[in-house]
Protein backbone atom coordinates (compact mmCIF):
# COMPACT_ATOMS: atom_id res chain seq x y z
CA UNK A 1 0.00 0.00 0.00
CA UNK A 2 1.18 3.53 -0.72
CA UNK A 3 1.84 5.70 2.25
CA UNK A 4 4.23 7.45 4.57
CA UNK A 5 6.34 5.60 7.11
CA UNK A 6 7.82 7.36 10.09
CA UNK A 7 10.28 5.75 12.48
CA UNK A 8 10.80 5.29 15.26
CA UNK A 9 7.44 5.65 16.94
CA UNK A 10 9.09 6.76 20.20
CA UNK A 11 12.48 8.34 20.64
CA UNK A 12 14.42 9.50 23.66
CA UNK A 13 17.15 12.10 23.51
CA UNK A 14 19.87 12.77 25.99
CA UNK A 15 21.10 16.28 26.69
CA UNK A 16 23.51 17.49 23.99
CA UNK A 17 22.60 14.70 21.60
CA UNK A 18 21.40 14.98 18.02
CA UNK A 19 18.68 12.57 16.95
CA UNK A 20 17.26 11.84 13.52
CA UNK A 21 13.65 11.05 12.70
CA UNK A 22 13.02 9.05 9.57
CA UNK A 23 10.30 9.74 7.01
CA UNK A 24 9.85 7.65 3.87
CA UNK A 25 7.07 7.85 1.28
CA UNK A 26 6.18 5.66 -1.68
CA UNK A 27 3.47 7.94 -3.06
CA UNK A 28 5.80 9.49 -5.67
CA UNK A 29 5.07 12.90 -4.17
CA UNK A 30 7.39 15.82 -4.87
CA UNK A 31 6.58 17.85 -1.75
CA UNK A 32 7.32 16.77 1.80
CA UNK A 33 6.83 18.52 5.13
CA UNK A 34 7.74 18.22 8.80
CA UNK A 35 5.36 19.45 11.50
CA UNK A 36 5.58 19.66 15.24
CA UNK A 37 2.63 19.31 17.60
CA UNK A 38 2.63 20.66 21.15
CA UNK A 39 -0.28 20.40 23.60
CA UNK A 40 -2.97 22.99 22.91
CA UNK A 41 -1.39 24.13 19.65
CA UNK A 42 -2.03 23.45 16.00
CA UNK A 43 0.53 21.67 13.86
CA UNK A 44 3.44 24.00 13.13
CA UNK A 45 5.67 23.75 10.06
CA UNK A 46 9.34 23.06 10.71
CA UNK A 47 10.74 22.47 7.20
CA UNK A 48 9.40 21.68 3.78
CA UNK A 49 10.83 20.44 0.50
CA UNK A 50 9.23 20.89 -2.90
CA UNK A 51 11.74 18.83 -4.88
CA UNK A 52 14.80 16.66 -4.37
CA UNK A 53 17.89 18.52 -3.18
CA UNK A 54 15.87 21.55 -2.18
CA UNK A 55 14.29 22.44 1.16
CA UNK A 56 13.18 25.57 2.97
CA UNK A 57 12.68 26.66 6.55
CA UNK A 58 9.17 26.76 7.93
CA UNK A 59 7.94 28.75 10.88
CA UNK A 60 9.96 27.04 13.63
CA UNK A 61 13.15 25.74 11.96
CA UNK A 62 15.62 26.79 14.65
CA UNK A 63 17.40 23.79 16.16
CA UNK A 64 16.37 21.45 13.33
CA UNK A 65 17.98 20.35 10.07
CA UNK A 66 16.78 18.26 7.13
CA UNK A 67 18.05 16.71 3.91
CA UNK A 68 16.32 15.63 0.71
CA UNK A 69 18.74 13.47 -1.22
CA UNK A 70 16.05 11.14 -2.53
CA UNK A 71 12.47 11.81 -3.53
CA UNK A 72 11.22 9.16 -1.11
CA UNK A 73 13.10 10.31 1.98
CA UNK A 74 13.03 13.46 4.12
CA UNK A 75 14.79 12.86 7.46
CA UNK A 76 14.62 15.43 10.24
CA UNK A 77 17.50 15.92 12.68
CA UNK A 78 16.73 17.47 16.03
CA UNK A 79 20.00 19.06 17.09
CA UNK A 80 21.24 19.89 20.55
CA UNK A 81 20.47 23.52 19.72
CA UNK A 82 16.76 22.75 19.99
CA UNK A 83 16.20 23.51 23.65
CA UNK A 84 12.66 22.23 23.89
CA UNK A 85 12.50 19.18 21.62
CA UNK A 86 9.85 17.23 23.54
CA UNK A 87 6.92 17.05 21.13
CA UNK A 88 5.07 14.91 18.63
CA UNK A 89 6.50 15.11 15.09
CA UNK A 90 4.50 14.47 11.92
CA UNK A 91 5.82 14.05 8.41
CA UNK A 92 3.59 14.68 5.40
CA UNK A 93 3.74 14.70 1.63
CA UNK A 94 1.62 16.06 -1.18
CA UNK A 95 1.36 15.61 -4.92
CA UNK A 96 1.45 18.20 -7.65
CA UNK A 97 -0.49 21.43 -7.28
CA UNK A 98 -1.39 23.65 -4.38
CA UNK A 99 -4.83 22.13 -3.72
CA UNK A 100 -3.86 18.53 -3.18
CA UNK A 101 -4.43 17.13 0.30
CA UNK A 102 -1.45 16.28 2.43
CA UNK A 103 -0.81 12.66 3.42
CA UNK A 104 0.59 12.07 6.88
CA UNK A 105 2.67 9.45 8.66
CA UNK A 106 1.81 8.07 12.09
CA UNK A 107 4.25 10.38 13.86
CA UNK A 108 7.22 10.13 16.22
CA UNK A 109 7.03 11.14 19.85
CA UNK A 110 10.32 12.58 21.08
CA UNK A 111 11.10 12.88 24.77
CA UNK A 112 14.10 14.03 26.75
CA UNK A 113 15.84 11.65 29.14
Partner 1 sequence: ILNVEQSPQSLHVQEGDSTNFTCSFPSSNFYALHWYRWETAKSPEALFVMTLNGDEKKKGRISATLNTKEGYSYLYIKGSQPEDSATYLCAFSLGNTGFQKLVFGTGTRLLVSP
Binding site for partner 1 (CB under 8 A): 4, 31, 35, 40-45, 48, 50, 56, 58, 90, 94, 98-107
Nearer to partner 1, 6 or 82 (CB): 6
Nearer to partner 1, 41 or 84 (CB): 41
Least distance in Å: CB of 90 to partner 1? 7
Nearer to partner 1, 80 or 102 (CB): 102
Least distance in Å: CB of 104 to partner 1? 4
DSSP letters spanning the chain? ---EEEE-SEEEE-TT--EEEEEEE-S--SEEEEEEE-TTS--EEEEEEEETTEEEE-TT-TTEEE--SBTTB--EEE-TT-S---EEEEEEEE-SSTTSPPEE---EEEEE-
Least distance in Å: CB of 18 to partner 1? 25
Amino acid sequence: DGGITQSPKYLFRKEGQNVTLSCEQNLNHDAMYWYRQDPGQGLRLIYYSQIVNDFQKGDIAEGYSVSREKKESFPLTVTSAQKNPTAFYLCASSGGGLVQPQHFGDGTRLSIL
